[in-house]
Amino acid sequence: MNKTFLITGASSGLGEIFSKSILDIAKTIIAVGRNKNKLVKLKKEINKLKPSIDVFIISTDLSKEEGLKKLFKEFEKQKKIKFVDVLINSAANFTVKKIDKINLKELKNDFQINTISPFMISKYFGLKMKKKKRGTIINIGSSSSYDCSENTSIYCSTKHALLGMTKAFNSELKSYGVKSIFIAPGSMKTAMGRKVKNQDFNTFIDPHEIANIMKYLLINEKSMSIDELKIKRSIYK
Ligand SMILES: NC(=O)c1ccc[n+]([C@@H]2O[C@H](COP(=O)([O-])OP(=O)(O)OC[C@H]3O[C@@H](n4cnc5c(N)ncnc54)[C@H](OP(=O)(O)O)[C@@H]3O)[C@@H](O)[C@H]2O)c1
């Protein structure tokens, strides 16, 4: 397999771990994040392990419309890659705040990064996939796409919307060979997971296990299709 991947949130956590887990199936990795230094480090690490993989980095802020435009512009600027086989929407922000403390700016910011950017990125690459009649989009949801807990109203709303968006893309693009897969993990041992209070971090899911599942789905896709996966912790404390 010589696939081209575009991974948002590649600079940290699940996106970073997934980027390093696909070296045997990737030809090209477009790593998207905000922090350029972390993306450069990732590129070096990947190329140390496998020099033949082309790693392009795009550093941009997906909470802003200009940041979204920059992603498309940077993609179009390089002439080498015309098509992305697998799009991973992993970048997200997790705001912990009571409803009465939330303002419109924060709400819009997180909807932009968690829902609107994934929608527009999926539209951009999904329509190219539709033309080629192949391609996979993986959207990283959350247990908050189904249930909500106190102080996470923005995150919960954006992740519910992301689930709706994934279903909508399947209803329009699946018949053209473009799959949208929703992965909804519970709390994970990442920087974002550290923000989850009143739960035992030691019981959180190892993101390597989630990355393994994502890869498994991409390898085993000839005759089966999994639209939605809810992944819970084995111990809840
Ligand atoms: N951790 C959990 O407990 C948990 C549970 C369920 C679902 N999830 C979901 O899993 C996915 C990965 O999260 P994670 O745990 O790996 O979190 P993480 O380690 O905090 O990584 C978040 C990633 O999103 C990027 N990002 C954040 N804001 C951005 C912005 N404005 N523009 C561009 N990129 C931005 C970060 O980039 P920079 O580092 O460059 O800023 C980073 O690469 C997310 O969709 C999250 O909602 C997480």
102 within some domain = yes
Q: How big is the chain by its Cα radius of gyration, in Å?
A: 17
For the stretch 63-99, pLDDT in tens is: 999 999 999 999 999 989 999 999 999 999 999 999 9
- 63 touches ligand 1 (CB under 6 Å): yes
Q: What is the pLDDT of residue 237?
A: 84
Residue 225 lies in a domain: yes
The predicted-structure confidence for 115-164, as pLDDT tens digits, reads as follows 999 999 999 999 999 999 999 999 999 999 999 999 999 999 999 999 99
Is-contact 53 28, C-beta < 8 A? yes
Mean pLDDT score, 216-227: 92
* Domains in the chain, number: 1
- E strand or H helix at 180, and its extent? strand 178-185
Task: Examine residue 236 and state whether it is found in any structural domain, yes or no.
Answer: no
Predicted confidence (pLDDT) at residue 1 exceeds the cutoff of 80 = no
Cβ–Cβ under 8 Å, residues 179 and 214: no
To test the ligand 1 pocket, which listed residue (21, 32, 34) has its Cβ within 8 A of the most ligand atoms? 34
Q: Is residue 237 part of a domain?
A: no
pLDDT tens column, 167-192: 999 999 999 999 999 999 999 999 99
pLDDT band at residue 231 using 50, 70 and 90 as cut-offs: very high
- CATH number assigned to the domain comprising residue 162: 3.40.50.720
Q: Of the given ranges (57-66, 100-109, 217-226), which has the lowest mean pLDDT?
A: 217-226
Q: What angle do helix axes 13-21 and 36-49 make, rounded to 10 degrees?
A: 20
Q: Which of 6, 7, 14 to mutate to test the pocket of ligand 1 (most atoms within 8 A of CB)?
A: 14
Q: Does residue 118 have its Cβ closer than 6 Å to ligand 1?
A: no
Q: Check if the beta carbon of residue 31 is closer than 8 Å to that of residue 57.
A: yes
Question: What's the pLDDT tens digit per position in 22-35?
Answer: 999 999 999 999 99
How far is 187 from 143, CA to CA, in rounded Å? Answer: 8
Ligand 1 neighbour 91 (Cβ under 6 A): yes
Report pLDDT for 88.
99
Nearest to 31 by CA among 10, 60, 54: 10
Full domain range(s) for residue 129:
3-231
pLDDT of residue 197: 87
17 within ligand 1 shell (Cβ under 6 A): no
Strand partners, 55: 29
Q: Is the CB of 210 under 6 A from ligand 1?
A: no
User: What pLDDT, on a 0 to 100 scale, did the predictor assign at position 214?
Assistant: 98
**Which atom from ligand 1 is nearest to the alpha carbon of 17?**
16
Q: Distance between CA 137 and CA 177 in Å, rounded?
A: 11
Is residue 222 scored above 90 in pLDDT?
no
The Cα–Cα gap between 30 and 7 comes to 6
Q: What does the pLDDT read at residue 196?
A: 93
Q: Are 156 and 148 in contact (CB under 8 A)?
A: yes
Residue 182 lies in a domain: yes
